[in-house]
Structure 1
Amino acid sequence: MVFSIAVFGPIVNEGYVNSESGPELRCVFNGNAGACRFGVTLGLGAFLACAAFLFLDLRFQQISSVRDRRRAVLLDLGFSALWSFLWFVGFCFLTNQWQRTAPGPGTKQAGDAARAAIAFSFFSILSWVALTVKALQRFRLGTDMSLFATEQLGTGAGQAYPGYPVGSGVEDTETYQSPPFTETLDTSTKGYQVPAY
C-alpha cells in the first residue's frame, strides 16, 4: 500500500507541469499524458486491491466453505501475478518516457517526483512478486488442515494429540480402589415394612 501511494501520489501532486508555450498542463514524462494516467491508475488500483485483500485476509477464517477458501487463494494468486507484470510494464514505460524527456524548467521542478514514481514502481515489482510467491505457497498447502479448518481444531494445527501414558508394564495392587457399595447395609427397617405382593 505504501509503495502504491508513493507512485501515484507524486504523479498526481507534481507530475503535471506548465508547458513552456502556454498555461496548459502537460505530463512530466515526455509530455505523454498516457504515462501519467498509467502510473496513477496502476498505483490507485494497487492501493485499492491491497485494502481489499487485507480485508479478505482478516475475514479468511470466517469463510466456512473449502471451495470458497480455494477461490479466495486463487484470486489472490492470479491478481498478484497480474499486478506484478503490470508493475514491470509500468516501470519500463515510465523509465523510457523519463529518458526521452527533454531537460527544462518543468523537468527540474518535477524531476524528484518522477524519479520517486519510477523508483517505487521498481520496489512495487519486488513486493508484488513476493506476494505472488506467498499466495502460491498458500495455494500449494491446499488441503492442509491449518489453512482450511483451523476453527474446528481445539489445539493448534501443528500440535499432536496426547498419547497414552507409558508405564513400567507392571501394575501393582495399590493403584486400584476398592469396589463401590461394599459396606454392610443396615437391615433394620426402623418402622418401615416391606410390602407383600
Structure 2
Amino acid sequence: MESGETSVYGASLAGGSFDFVKFIKQPQTILRVLSWVFSIVVFATITAEGYVNPPNHSQVVCVFNKNDGACHYGVGIGIIGFLACVGFLMVDIYLPMMSNAQERKRVVTADLVFSAAWTFLWFVCFCVLANQWANTVDVNGIPTDAVHAIIAFSFFSIATWGALTYLALMRFRQGVGEVSQNYGESAPDQTSSQYPTSYVPPDHNSTYPQPPFVTKQEPMGDSDYQPPAY
C-alpha cells in the first residue's frame, strides 16, 4: 500500500483496482484455497467411499460404526465449507474496491464469525469421526485408506480455519484502530472557535447609539423635592 493513503480493514479507503499477483500471495488466499481443497476431500470421499453394503444388511451403511449421522455431518460441513470458501474468495477480490468503511466492517465481521464457527464445527467433525471409527468393530470391506483420509483432512481443516479466524481477527482489530485514528486526525480543533466571544472588557466604549426619547434618571438621594407647608 502506498504511503499517504488512508487504509481501513486492510485496504485503501479510497478504493483501488484488483492486483491478482498480490491477491494470490496473501496468506488469507492460500488458506482459503487449502480449506476449499480439504472440504472437497472430506465430502467427496464420504460420498464415494463412505458407505458400504455389508452381507447382513439390505442397504448401505456408513463406514463410521454404521452411524449415518456421522457421514451426513461430514458431508454437510464439507459442502458448506466448500461454498463458503468460494464466496469469501470472491469477497476478498471485491474488498479492495470498497470505499465504504462500514461495508468493509460488515464483511470482515462476517468472515470472523463464520471462520470461528467452522473451526469449531470441524473440530466436532474430527472428534465424531475419530470416535465412531475407533468404535467400529467389523472393518471387512471398508476402505480404511479412505477413512483415514477423511479423518486426517478433517483435522487439517481445523488448522486452516483456525488460521483464517486469526487473520480475520487481526484485520478486524486493525480496521477498528485505523478508523479511530483517522477520526482523531480529522476531528476539528475544539480549543479555538471561529465565532467571536461575547465577553466585553470593562473599559470598552460601546459604539451603539442611544435610543431616542430616553429621559435621564437621577438618583433618589439628590432630589430637590420639598414637602408642601400647610
Residue 64 of structure 1, CA deviation? 2.2
Match for residue 60 of structure 2 among 1, 9, 25: 25
2:72 & 2:175 partners in 1: Cα distance?
A: 39
TM-score scaled by length of structure 2? 0.60
Residue 83 in structure 1 maps to residue 118 in structure 2 = yes
Specify the structure having the higher radius of gyration (Cα): 2
Deviation at 1:103, TM superposition (A): 2.7
Residue in structure 2 matching 1:132, options 165, 174, 188:
165
Equivalence for 2:74: 39
- Decide which of 168, 171, 174 is 1:141's aligned counterpart: 174
2:88 to 53, 60, 72: 53
1:33-182 equivalence runs, <5 A: 33-107=68-142, 110-143=143-176
Task: Give CA-to-partner distance per residue, 1:6-30, whole Å, 9 cap, x none.
Answer: 1111100100000221341000000
For the 8 Å contact 1:28–1:106, the answer to whether it is kept is no
Structure 1 residues 70-97: Cα deviation after superposition (integer angstroms, max 9, x where no partner): 0000000000000000000000000000
**What percent of counterpart residues are identical?**
51
Task: Return the letter of the residue paired with 2:148.
Answer: R
CA distance in 2 between partners of 1:22 and 1:37 (Å): 19
Q: Distance in 2 between matches of 1:104 and 1:45?
A: 29
Cα separation, 2, equivalents of 1:7 and 1:52: 19
Question: What is the root-mean-square deviation in Å for CA atoms of aligned residues?
Answer: 1.7
Question: What's the offset of the Cα at 1:145?
Answer: 6.1
Aligned to 1:181: none
Moved over 3 A (4+): 143-146
Shift of 1:137: 0.8
Give the unaligned 5+ runs of structure 1: 150-197
Matched letter for residue 137 of structure 2? A
C-alpha deviation, 1:113, in angstroms: 1.1
The 8 Å contact of residues 81 and 132 in structure 1, kept in 2 or not, is answered as: yes
Aligned residue pair count: 145
Deviations 1:125-183 (A, max 9, x none): 0000000000011111115669xx9xxxxxxxxxxxxxxxxxxxxxxxxxxxxxxxxxx
Q: Secondary structure at the match of 1:106?
A: coil
TM superposition shift of 1:45? 0.8
